[in-house]
Structure 1
Amino acid sequence: MHFDLTDLRLFVHVCEARSLTGGARQAHLSTPAASMRIKALENQLGSRLFYRSSQGVDLTPAGQRLLTQARLVLRQVEHLKTEFTEHAGDAAGHLRIFANTTAVTEFLPEVLARFLAERPGVTVDLQERLNRDILRGVLDGTSDLGVIAGGVDTPGLEVLPFSRDHLVVAIPLSHPLAERERVRLIETLAYPHVGLHDGSTLLSFLRDRLEALGEQFALRTQVYGFEAVCRMIEVGVGIGIVPVSAVRRHQRTMRLRWVALDEPWALRERSVITRELAALPGCARALVEALVVYGDAERAPDPVPR
């Protein structure tokens, strides 16, 4: 069985556009030419790949299986090209990274700034995703690397822990909780909360913890990013559950305190996940190494409330 890379790329474009016309446009083909290529691919595989309707196309089970493998094949072809360009090694290439909220807003910008400054030939597509979507993206080849926090089930993936962080309760200086050293999650519900936007990894995680207790947040407001959360807390809008690294950073310019969160899940391991580290291009392996170095430098003991 012979697979044409052009056909595989066209197939992926059609899947992502959910339209034969849209996929053909992305592949720089006419719609009739694209239709003939897709039909030839279906004939070769002996399987129908799409359900077609006036609204577009949807994948069949066979199409879903092919999409996963096609993405992996195409990513590996791109990695192979990168390895044998004139900029071989870790100096060139394109990486797609799916990461959780804390990684995207807190430490990856700092790590990537140094990493990319040293490698002008490398480009990075960084996207914020929920843990489950990060895992799915790495498994199906949509993403080269994933950055997650906390314990998750990662069958078929390599997991490389590189640092840890604690979730704490950030409060204004004069808040009633300021005299406490530790507080349980359920105790914080007596006060209005400032939270991250819907769809953020941390908010989804905390909602799951509360759902297990039969409770829910009294969110007074939701904002984008830990800086905005901390500014709201500083002026007394509410309290918030955030990584201790974020509070420490913003305490340099804001009047904040924090209290340790007395929960077994408050300590979260940060990890990089990938299908196979050895199969990644040199630039991806170099970025993983940079994250490990960052984690070693930032690793801190258990937090002491202040």
Structure 2
Amino acid sequence: MALNVHQLHIFYTVADRGSFSAAAQTLHMTQPAVTMQVQALEERFGTKLLNRTTKRLDLTEAGHRLLPQARKAVELMRDTDEMMTQYIEELKGRLQFAASLTIGEYVLPRLLGSFLRRFPEISVDMKVMNTTEIIEAVAHQGLDFGIIEAPCDVPGFDAQAVMNDELLLIAPADHPFASREQVSLEEAIGEPLVLREKGSGTRQIMEEELQRHGITEKQLRVVSEFGSTGAVKSAVEAGLGLSLLSVWTIKHELALGLLKPVRISGVSFRRQFYSVRLRSSLLPIPAVALLGELKELSHD
């Protein structure tokens, strides 16, 4: 039977106050309940801890041995309670950070809801920027951290993987690919493509993976380029071409049946999102809590 810390607390209070009735008053318990818990502790150890007489209450030798340990347990519980109380109190205030376009517009709005319901005293100020702007803002404008779409190798910054992502080939609902689970790479690059602009994280991941499979940009039928994911989705819906987009950005369209994701056989456009902060700074507790929550939610 596991040792019951609550019983240790009751035993310590009885020994400290000198009687069951005084301990019961301190603990806001009935006297019989206090007595029962001390007896249960004695049964746990198989020995008497207290000698009870009509006039006084004395510790047995076993009770004297146990008392310092019980005191430590009570102090540990008290310290833990104070620490957690302080932690919760610190989970208040304004959390300022930045996120890149895909993350800031499509990923975080879906995930922040549960975090803010859990910590209603926190308010969020999230700026949507490109990676260069995020690094600048974290370094010089007082932002707590940023979330970007690729690893950061900037002197003085620390980057940690925080979320998973994957790009999928996206087709309109009436396209022949929409009835298939996967297509070959040759079939995919033979289609007209509507892509994000050069330099975007999404475009970079696509180009790097295709290059690993021997496909150059010149082999692609790029019919349009857009500076926003929303514009790309609208173009695909309108039948201008197919695209490669993050699974996070198309959840609404998938639910409505407007777009269909299709995997390209043998090709994986997986990536991670990264949190970045100044190595010389400490993240505030709300930021640590948020990043921890994002890791858990994005892996569900």
Query: Shorter-chain TM-score: what band?
Result: 0.5 to 0.7
For residue 283 of structure 2, what is the amino acid of its counterpart? L
Deviations for 1:157-187, whole angstroms, at most 9, x for unmatched residues? 3333233111111012443545572444x86
Partner of 1:290: 293
Instruction: Describe the shift of the 1:172–1:110 C-alpha distance in structure 2 as closer, same or farther (beyond 3 A).
Output: closer
Q: Which amino acid aligns with 2:236?
A: I
The alignment-based identity, stated in percent, is 22
Residue 256 (structure 1) aligns with: 259
Q: Does the aligned pair in 1 maintain the 2:206–2:269 contact within 8 Å?
A: no
1:218 pairs with one of 195, 216, 222 = 222
Matched, 1:90 2:91: yes
Partners in 1 of 2:182 and 2:229 — Cα distance?
26
Alignment-derived partner of residue 246 in structure 1: 249
1:220-265 CA distance string (max 9 Å, x none) = 3637444x54343234222111012333442110243222246877
CA contact (8 A) 2:173 2:257 kept: no
- Does the residue aligned with 1:280 lie in a helix, a strand or coil? coil
CA distance in structure 2 between the partners assigned to 1:189 and 1:286 by the alignment: 42
Q: Matched residues in 2 for 1:239 and 1:289: separation? A: 35
Deviations 1:270-291 (A, max 9, x none): 2222225982222222211221
**Matching residue's letter, 2:193:** H
Gaps of 5+ in 1: 1-84, 298-306
The corresponding residue for 2:70 is: none
Tell me the equivalent position of 1:112. Answer: 112
Q: How many residues align structurally?
A: 209
277-286 or 158-167, which deviates more:
277-286
Query: C-alpha deviations, 1:4-56, integer Å up to 9, x for none?
Result: xxxxxxxxxxxxxxxxxxxxxxxxxxxxxxxxxxxxxxxxxxxxxxxxxxxxx
Q: Any conservation in 2 of the 1:89–1:282 contact (CA below 8 Å)?
A: yes
Structure 1 residues 130 and 102: CA distance shift in structure 2, 3 A: same
How far apart, CA to CA, are the structure 2 residues paired with 1:287 and 1:218?
38
- Contact 2:159 / 2:277 at 8 angstroms: preserved in 1? yes
Q: How far apart are the structure 2 equivalents of 1:242 and 1:206?
A: 9
Measured in 2, the distance between the counterparts of 1:107 and 1:277 equals 28
Q: Could you list the per-position Cα deviations for residues 89-127 of structure 1 after superposition, in whole angstroms to 9, with x for gaps in the alignment?
A: 0111x3332212221122211222333344454333322
Q: Structure 1 residues 214 and 173 mapped into 2: Cα distance closer, same or farther (>3 Å)?
A: closer
- 1:102 maps to a residue whose letter is T
Q: Tell me how far apart the structure 2 counterparts of residues 105 and 219 of structure 1 sit (CA, whole Å).
A: 25
Task: Tell me which amino acid in the other structure corresponds to 1:91.
Answer: K
| 1:234/1:123 CA distance change after superposition, 3 Å | same
Alpha-carbon distance in 2 for matches of 1:274, 1:262:
37
Q: Is the alpha carbon distance of 1:232 and 1:209 closer, same or farther for their aligned partners in structure 2, counting shifts above 3 Å?
A: same
TM-superposed CA distance for 1:214, in Å, is 4.8
Q: Indicate the residue corresponding to 2:282 in structure 1.
A: 279
Q: Is the 8 A contact 1:210 1:217 kept in 2?
A: no
Contact 2:162 2:295 survives alignment (8 Å): yes
Give 1:152 shift. Answer: 4.0
Shift of 1:209: 7.4
TM-score normalised according to structure 1 size? 0.54
1:193 aligns with 2:193: yes
Give 1 or 2: higher helix fraction: 2
Say if 1:150 and 1:270, in contact at 8 Å, map to a contact too. Answer: yes
Change (3 A) 1:203 1:127: farther
> How many Å apart are 1:268 and its aligned residue?
0.3
Separation in structure 2 between the aligned mates of residue 155 and residue 190 of structure 1, nearest angstrom: 42
Aligned in 2, Cα 1:250/1:214: closer, same or farther, shift over 3 Å? closer
Distance verdict in 2 for CA 1:262–1:137, change over 3 Å: farther
Q: Which of 99-108 and 264-273 deviates more?
A: 264-273
Q: How has the CA–CA distance of structure 1 residues 96 and 182 changed in structure 2, closer, same or farther, with 3 Å as cutoff?
A: farther
1:285–1:217 Cα change, 3 Å: farther
> In the alignment, which residue of structure 1 is the partner of 2:134?
134
Contact in 1 for aligned 2:97/2:126 (Cα 8 Å): yes
RMSD of aligned C-alpha atoms? 3.8
> Structure 2: where are the runs of 5+ without partners?
1-85
Q: What is the aligned partner in structure 2 of residue 102 from structure 1?
A: 102
